[in-house]
Structure 1
Amino acid sequence: FYTISSPDADGEVEITVDAGPESGAVAGALAGLEPGATVTIAGPFGDQYYDDEPRPVLLAGGPGVGPAVAIAGRALAAGNEAVVVYRDDAPIHRDRLDALRDRGVSVTVLDADASLTDAVADALERDGQVFVYGFEGFVDDALDAVVAAGDDPDAATVENFG
């Protein structure tokens, strides 16, 4: 599985790749590349994107952390706030998450079996545009947590990886 994880596209695009045994041939081929390699990408393309909302609340499961760290970085660069709630059994991008936290982003990392309810409620204590990135089970859990927090799940920007 792979996701775009760079905050902008100024000459380079960073991707996050999970090259585990269930990830498929494309992820395995990408994982075998050296950093800085040139590649051509022709999809699939998501249709959800960050449009400089002032306080993105980023709910990420698994490889959804790629777009979450990218959006949080871009929000900071635009002078905005950001919140990241990330759940995974083997969290990645720890350095980027720590750097975002050091720059003022509220970052919560949860174990794969942890409930999202409290973390999402805390994240939504103030207004923000909810973004959800992850596989179907995570997306369902995240939207349930949004409802439990009293927010409208239909207003969330959602990218379901299947």
Structure 2
Amino acid sequence: MEITGTPVTVESVRDVGPSTIALELETPAAFDALPGQFVLLRAAPEDEVIERHYTLSSPSTEGTFELTVGVDPDGELSPWLAELDGGETVHVDGPFGQITYERDRDVVAVAGGPGVGPAVSIAEAAHDAGHEAVVVYQDDDPAHEQRLETLEDEGATVVLADENDDGTIADAIETHLKDGQCYAFGFEAFVTAVSDAIEDAGGDPDDALIENFG
């Protein structure tokens, strides 16, 4: 069976939260992705090619790069990825996406659910480049808690909210809207609420860099 895309080795798979894994992949030659971009990953569980888009969750792609994957027990691909041991091959195309972070400014990264991956990667990249970072994250079962704690210990602002706590998200956006370039990652209802909160806070949603996961 032929699978299109660039073959890359799975370096490791680790749990980073409830039903969430971090998939670390070998960086192929000439792969130059920035935080905020995504790839198309293909694999063939059960001899059927399945493809999914995943956004990078590592601040750089030097040597390896990371994808954060929410594991749906009824999914066609994510449960298979979660059971990998490392050493297997998957295929990727990309990077894709116009939402990028160039390590050139302070950032406010707002995330709902699986959006935490790119949000954390952008905050880490900003911190590594000597800029300030704010992470605002809504989820009942947070992922990447260790990385968020490290960011906070190193001076970043981290605001966590439960899934239905839209008030905390709106308050955090109002408080930190002018603290840096605003990014938002999440499903449609979440990023729509973020856009509304930006407008309510006197900002322009068109100035934010927003990735709608559908």
Residue 58 of structure 1 pairs with residue 87 of structure 2: no
Give deviations 1:42-87, integer Å, cap 9, x for gaps. 2583331112241111010011000011011110111111100000
Instruction: Give the equivalent residue in structure 2 for 1:73.
Output: 124
CA contact (8 A) 1:56 1:131 kept: yes
- Could you say if the C-alpha distance between residues 147 and 41 of structure 1 is closer, same or farther in structure 2, counting changes exceeding 3 Å? same
- Could you say if the C-alpha distance between residues 27 and 3 of structure 1 is closer, same or farther in structure 2, counting changes exceeding 3 Å? farther
Give deviations 1:19-44, integer Å, cap 9, x for gaps. 1236x323223222235755332258
- Could you say if the C-alpha distance between residues 14 and 81 of structure 1 is closer, same or farther in structure 2, counting changes exceeding 3 Å? same
Gaps (5+ residues) in structure 1? none
Relative contact order (C-alpha < 8 Å, sep 6+): which is higher? 1
Q: In structure 2, which of residues 118, 136, 149 is the aligned counterpart of residue 85 of structure 1?
A: 136
- Could you say if the C-alpha distance between residues 98 and 9 of structure 1 is closer, same or farther in structure 2, counting changes exceeding 3 Å? same
Give deviations 1:88-126, integer Å, cap 9, x for gaps. 1211111000000001110001000011211111112x3
Give deviations 1:133-153, integer Å, cap 9, x for gaps. 000011001111111111110
Distance of 1:91 and 1:159 partners within structure 2:
19
Q: Scaled by the length of structure 2, what TM-score is found?
A: 0.69
Instruction: Give the equivalent residue in structure 1 for 2:170.
Output: 117
Q: In structure 1, which of residues 16, 19, 28 is the aligned counterpart of residue 79 of structure 2?
A: 28
- Could you say if the C-alpha distance between residues 36 and 97 of structure 1 is closer, same or farther in structure 2, counting changes exceeding 3 Å? farther
Instruction: Give the equivalent residue in structure 1 for 2:63.
Output: 11
CA contact (8 A) 1:3 1:63 kept: no
1:84-103 correspondence to structure 2 within 5 Å: 84-103=135-154
Structure with more helix by fraction = 1
Instruction: Give the equivalent residue in structure 2 for 1:150.
Output: 202
Question: What residue identity is the alignment partner of 1:139?
Answer: V
Question: RMSD of the alignment, in Å?
Answer: 1.9
Runs of 4+ in 1 over 6 A off after TM superposition: none
Distance of 2:126 and 2:139 partners within structure 1:
23
Question: What residue identity is the alignment partner of 1:123?
Answer: H
Q: CA deviation at 1:15?
A: 1.3
Distance of 1:46 and 1:35 partners within structure 2:
27
Structure with more strand by fraction = 2
Distance of 2:142 and 2:189 partners within structure 1:
17
Q: Quick check: which has more Rg, 1 or 2?
A: 2
Distance of 2:211 and 2:128 partners within structure 1:
23
- Could you say if the C-alpha distance between residues 36 and 16 of structure 1 is closer, same or farther in structure 2, counting changes exceeding 3 Å? farther
Residues paired across the two proteins, number = 160
